[in-house]
A and B are shown apart, each in its own frame.
Chain A
Amino acid sequence: MMALSDKQDDKRDIGGPRQPLLQVRNLLKHFPLKGQGLPFSGNKSAVRAVDGINFDILKGETLGVVGESGCGKSTTARVLMQLIHQDSGELVFDGETVGSRALPLRQFRRQTQMVFQDSYSSLNPRMTIEDSIAFAPIVHGLSSRTAITRARDLLARVGLQPERFAGRYPHELSGGQRQRVNIARALALEPRLVILDEAVSALDKSVEAQVLNLLLDLKQEFGLTYLFISHDLNVVRFISDRVLVMYLGQVVEIGSADQVFDQPKHPYTRALLQSMPSMDPLQRTEVAPLAGDPPNPINPPSGCRFHTRCAYVQAPCSQQAPVFASAASGHGVACLRYEANSGVSQDAAALLETNHG
């Protein structure tokens, strides 16, 4: 069996450490609505779940993704995993286009694995957990004996003693234990990128902390790269090196965790951070930072999509869509207030910064 932890000189690493592990370019995924619009008119409306997004996942980092429900976080994850295919746009994995001859889907999926939120429905109830973990390696050509040995090693690694747990079925385990099994299964193919879609959200706080510690350990041991999707901003800040903020199918801000949490540039990021309940009963939140729910992604607002809820909205915002621009520090934002000659005054922006600093 190949040594599980020896990833220092990974033969699969083609582009070297400076090459992003995954580059996402103009990714677009719309879900057409049934029964809307005239047939064959070519003018059907669609849920614009992911609407042209660009970002990189660097080697060895944890990229956190935050945003409200319906902003396209999970659709992005599913497209990255190629569980659903994009309408347009390109995924470049370590320098090679996913689905091209150099990197066929089967090879790509081996290197990218995913852990879902619901630990119960993502395991086959009729398979013992060791069989579940060994399943994918067998499909990819490992002998069943080697695969079972590997499954047992992984169980031990995620903190479940194989003697006690290997033969159990999913319903015999607690939620935290099941999520450990899902993590072990994701690691069974020795992936380089693990997508964690709300993987700890359904767990109780004390169990969540155990699983987060486990994820940190595994990342170091196996040299993994994580894409960590969550709505819990505390957890995202803790685990992420960089954070990406999404709003209605678009990336509005990206930067290091400290940049995004301590000096948020986009008004949406700022409102999202302020929406976290205060832990001090003497300093309660008095006014909700954002009114209303996110607009419908079927008919997103014109111009900047956030202008309907933005506290700093000015006249051009409803007509002109902001262009995502990245500063030298790697802190990027899509907001007209940071664009020169956009007609949106900087005063409000200055106010924003002084208030926060």
Chain B
Amino acid sequence: MKRYLYYPGCSLRGTGKAYEESLLAVFKALDVELEELEDWNCCGATAYMSIDEVSSFALAGRNLAMAEKKNLDLLAPCSACFLVLNKAQRYIKEYPKVAQTLEHGFKAAGLEYHGTAKVRHPLDVLINDIGLERIKACIKKPLTGLKVAPYYGCQIVRPYATFDLMYYPVTMDKLLRAVGAEVVDYPLKTRCCGGSQKGTLPEVGLSLIHILLKEARRREAQVISTICPLCQFNLDAFQDEASKKYGEISMPVVYFTQLLGLAFGFSAKELGLERNIVAAKQMLAKFAPAAA
């Protein structure tokens, strides 16, 4: 029975709810225990870095200090959280001035930081710790015939590609193939979705989103599989707008854990598939009856 500390991040409690639901379901089926990091605080994502650099490392540092104590690897499914926690750990090590300032702060706040926490991504854990064999063993119905465009986004492979290739990652491809899906060649798999720009500069954001949707359709994918709550939201929530501006486009966008969950026999509700803006349930039901 494997155990991990679990850092959901703010998004998984809001727009990314389905990610948490499907992640927990899948990990339970694989007999992996997830213990939520007690009283975790927001990692700061990209926004806090625009206010104050060292403080943003401090935000991450509090979480890392708490995780260290437990002596378990910390699972961070959200890409931004995964990057921020890792980056903070590296920068504290690399820049003595940062380490100095934070040491003082940690002391004042009663925290002990040694930089020993290991921050992991679900893709990494699934492929390397649990292994494809065990995953295959949990399949109730393989997703045969389902064409998936695997979309990784930026921050789990850039700037640090620790468990997958930087330019053409394949871990999600491997997982999806293992559950029977057909993964299409998708060269845009790490191209930025625009992040929060859809909210702040809508035209720019929409253009970036549309590029991803259009190419997935051109490659004849039936669904896009994501690993980041913001990517999923961007690709899912604005297809109406994109259709109005660029021409009709409609493509279900799900989390890879939802696809794994379907293969494992979970229902649509259990996997949060009823939360998609662009309906995904019906299409997926053709490949996984449990989704109906």
Same complex for A and B? Answer no
